[in-house]
Structure formats: C-alpha cells, structure tokens
C-alpha cells in the first residue's frame, strides 16, 4: 500500500476552507456522524452507572465536562460508590486518564505554525478525546495550518456537548435500562476504537492491535487490575521492535 496520507474527504481530496468559520463548521460536520454517536452512546451508559453509584445529575454531567475521559469517569463513579477517600478517587481517575498524555504529545505538533495554537493549547488538550483525536489525526494533516484549530474545536465541541447530553440521558433513563444494555453502551466505544485502529496502514499499529487482542484476555486472567496497561505496554513495545526487525518500508503494509 502507498504511504500517501488519508484524504480529508473521500469525495473531495484535499478540501480547503474559505475562513475560520467555514473550518469550524467543517469540524462539526466531521464529528456529527459516527464519533458523536459513539460518544453519545458511551456516555449514556456512564450516566446510568453514575446514577447507580449515588451521584447527582449535576455532578455526573460535571464529571463528563471536567474529566472528559470515560476510564477516569468510571473510576471516580465506582470509587465514590465504595466510599473511597477523595485523594484516592482523584489519584485513580487521574491515572486512568494518563493515556491522554502521549495522545497530546502526538497531536500538538500538527498545530505547529498556527498563531493561536500556543495560546489555546490548554483548551485544545482539554477538548481532546479518543474520538475527535482519531478523526483529527487522520484529517488534520490534510488541512491548511491556519484552519486546523477551528476545525479541531468544531470537531471536539460537538462530541463534548454530545457527551454531556448522553450523560444526562443515561442518568434520567437509569432504572429503565437493563444492566446488560448499560454495560454494552460503555464498551461500545472501545469496540469502535478497535475497528478504527484496525483500518490504519502503519504496520506497527496493525501488529500492536493483533498482539493486544491476543494478550489482553490472557493478562486479564493473570492480573485483572493491571491487565490493560500491561497489555498496552507489552503489545506496543513488541510491535515497535518487530516492525524494526522486519525492515523494509517501515510504517506501511
């Protein structure tokens, strides 16, 4: 396969924008499809979970807007239900969202050259979540630098507000949703990510997905508490060295 980057728009490769408002609307349009559906569905499950954990509606929505990361939100809700100390809750939710650090380090260079990127960097990283990040990392490099910030804000904002709406819906509907449906909604997002990452062209990413799918269930039986970070560390590291040892055209298959 070619190393050519994925186009911004299948029907209009290399689409450009007239101004910042046009780019902002383009970001909203890009996020209003499957990314928004996944966020809305996943956060509906979290809203029901938060209700069952004894959180109030306003606190549940504030968790979504403030943490904006499903693992951290779930950890906070579960530890609150167990009556854990505040310090332990904050530490656990923060560690659960540490995955955003490497994502931010990879994303921020895409904004290099934009005059507002440094000023708005905290807003950009706060709005970042796996759904808008995945879309932006595929489309952002194909957009002119001066339009990347408004495009990303539009893309992230529609998901951000959708997450708040989904949380409120799940909280209000709690008790009417069967437990199996609630759990399924929460795990819908990871399933979507698997399909997204399985479509990448980078060989090391494909190897990591395959190794992770094999190692994840095995490590869960060994240590359920540490299976996810261990799986990511082992699968990612192994994929990196395997890709290097295979030589040839690194980064493509």
Instruction: Check residue 248 and give its pLDDT.
Output: 54
Answer for the pair 28, 20: CB distance below 8 angstroms, yes or no. Answer: no
State the Cα–Cα distance between residues 129 and 143, nearest whole angstrom: 20
Answer for the pair 72, 96: CB distance below 8 angstroms, yes or no. Answer: yes
Instruction: Check residue 189 and give its pLDDT.
Output: 64
Helix (H, G, I), strand (E, B) or coil at 242: helix
What contacts 198, CB < 8 A, 6 or more positions away?
206, 209
Instruction: Check residue 81 and give its pLDDT.
Output: 85
What contacts 169, CB < 8 A, 6 or more positions away?
40, 44, 47
**pLDDT tens per residue, range 99-108:** 788 889 889 9
Instruction: Check residue 2 and give its pLDDT.
Output: 37
pLDDT in tens, the chain (253 residues): 334 333 333 334 466 788 999 999 999 999 998 889 989 988 998 998 899 889 999 999 999 999 898 888 888 888 888 888 888 888 888 887 887 888 898 899 999 888 888 888 888 999 998 889 989 988 998 999 989 999 999 999 999 999 999 999 999 998 787 777 777 777 776 776 666 665 556 788 788 888 988 998 899 888 887 887 788 889 989 999 998 998 755 554 4
Answer for the pair 24, 151: CB distance below 8 angstroms, yes or no. Answer: yes
| Nearest C-alpha neighbor of 39 from the set 158, 135, 149, 153 | 158
- Full-model pTM: 0.77
Number of H helices and E strands in the chain, helices first, is 13, 0
* Dihedral angle, C-alpha 89, 92, 95, 100, nearest 10 °: -60
Q: What is the pLDDT of the chain when averaged over all its residues?
A: 83
Cβ-count burial of 163 within 10 angstroms (0-12 exposed, 13-18 middle, 19+ buried)? buried
């Amino acid at each position: 396969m070619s190393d050519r980057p994925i186009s911004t728009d299948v029907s209009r490769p290399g689409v450009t924008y007239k101004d910042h408002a046009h780019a902002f609307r383009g970001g909203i349009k890009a996020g209003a499809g499957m990314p928004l559906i996944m966020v809305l569905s996943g956060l509906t499950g979290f809203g029901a979970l938060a209700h069952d954990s004894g959180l109030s509606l306003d606190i549940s929505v504030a968790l979504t807007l403030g943490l904006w990361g499903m693992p951290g939100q779930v950890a906070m809700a579960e530890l609150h239900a167990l009556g854990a100390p505040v310090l332990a809750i904050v530490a656990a939710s923060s560690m659960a969202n540490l995955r955003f650090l490497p994502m931010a380090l990879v994303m921020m260079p895409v904004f290099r050259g934009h005059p507002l990127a440094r000023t708005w960097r905290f807003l950009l990283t706060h709005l970042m979540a796996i759904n808008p990040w995945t879309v932006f990392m595929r489309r952002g490099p194909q957009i002119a630098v001066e339009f990347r910030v408004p495009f990303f804000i539009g893309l992230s904002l529609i998901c951000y507000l959708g997450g708040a709406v989904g949380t409120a819906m799940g909280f209000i509907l709690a008790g009417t949703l069967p437990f199996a449906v609630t759990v399924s909604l929460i795990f819908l997002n990871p399933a979507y990510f698997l399909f997204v990452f399985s479509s990448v062209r980078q060989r090391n990413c494909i190897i990591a997905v395959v190794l992770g799918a094999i190692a994840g269930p095995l490590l869960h039986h060994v240590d359920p508490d540490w299976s996810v970070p261990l799986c990511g560390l082992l699968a990612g590291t192994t994929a990196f060295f395997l890709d290097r040892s295979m030589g040839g055209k690194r980064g493509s298959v």
